[in-house]
């Protein structure tokens, strides 16, 4: 039986300061993310999915109501791993780079239009959830999506390119109820466009998510 493990953050806990505090990352990664990992490992024995990868577990449980609990834990493990890698302490945020820049301009008309739609998705997601930049598996067309709670593009046969976590525990220590300010900071200061480019091109970028 394989065991799902908690991945290390791709940077030090204080590396995203002053935008996201070490306190937030300590609780978000070491407590919330770890709890999803631990709960998933409790649910796996006897499920028939013990030797599957995290992505395979998500796909296998996404439309099975009897395994909703396992899907929620697995999807949250994957979503969080993806989210950590969507941020960088090294000149993050701002306009996209690489092939993704041209594709965003082609599919949205401009970076500003993409930014507007992405921010709107993040702000209009009622309650807990995620805002995503996703690509179609056939043709590669980009679009914006939002998912509630643990839902994830993997469950909808889409390629995840970029995400912003809008669960309150992602930002409440630093921004309280100011979700718009958090999303602006994510877009302007933190986005890891190198990672997003790699995901758009179908590369694993060194992590399963």
- Please give the annotated binding residues for Mn(2+), written as ranges: 28, 80, 165, 169
To the nearest 10°, the Cα dihedral for 99, 146, 123, 11?
-60
**Residue numbering of the annotated binding site:** 28, 80, 165, 169
Q: Cα–Cα distance between 69 and 10 in angstroms, integer?
A: 28
The encoded tokens of residue 5 equal 């493990």
């Amino acid at each position: 039986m394989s065991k799902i493990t908690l991945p290390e953050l791709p940077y030090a806990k204080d590396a995203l300061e002053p935008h996201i505090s070490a306190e937030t990352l300590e609780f978000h990664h070491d407590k919330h993310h770890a709890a999803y990992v631990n709960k998933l490992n409790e649910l796996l024995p006897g499920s028939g999915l013990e030797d599957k990868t995290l992505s395979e577990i998500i796909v296998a449980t996404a439309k099975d109501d009897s395994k909703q609990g396992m899907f929620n834990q697995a999807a949250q493990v994957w979503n969080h791993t993806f989210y950590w890698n969507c941020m960088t302490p090294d000149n993050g945020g701002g306009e996209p780079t690489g092939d993704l820049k041209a594709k965003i301009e082609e599919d949205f008309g401009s970076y500003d239009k993409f930014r507007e739609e992405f921010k709107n998705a993040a702000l209009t997601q009622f309650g807990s959830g995620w805002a995503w930049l996703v690509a179609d598996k056939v043709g590669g067309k980009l679009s914006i999506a939002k998912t509630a709670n643990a839902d994830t593009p993997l469950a909808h046969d889409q390629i995840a390119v970029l995400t912003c976590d809008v669960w309150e525990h992602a930002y409440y220590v630093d921004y309280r109820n100011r979700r718009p300010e958090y999303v602006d900071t994510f877009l302007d200061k933190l986005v890891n466009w190198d990672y997003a480019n790699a995901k758009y091109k179908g590369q694993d970028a060194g992590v399963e998510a």
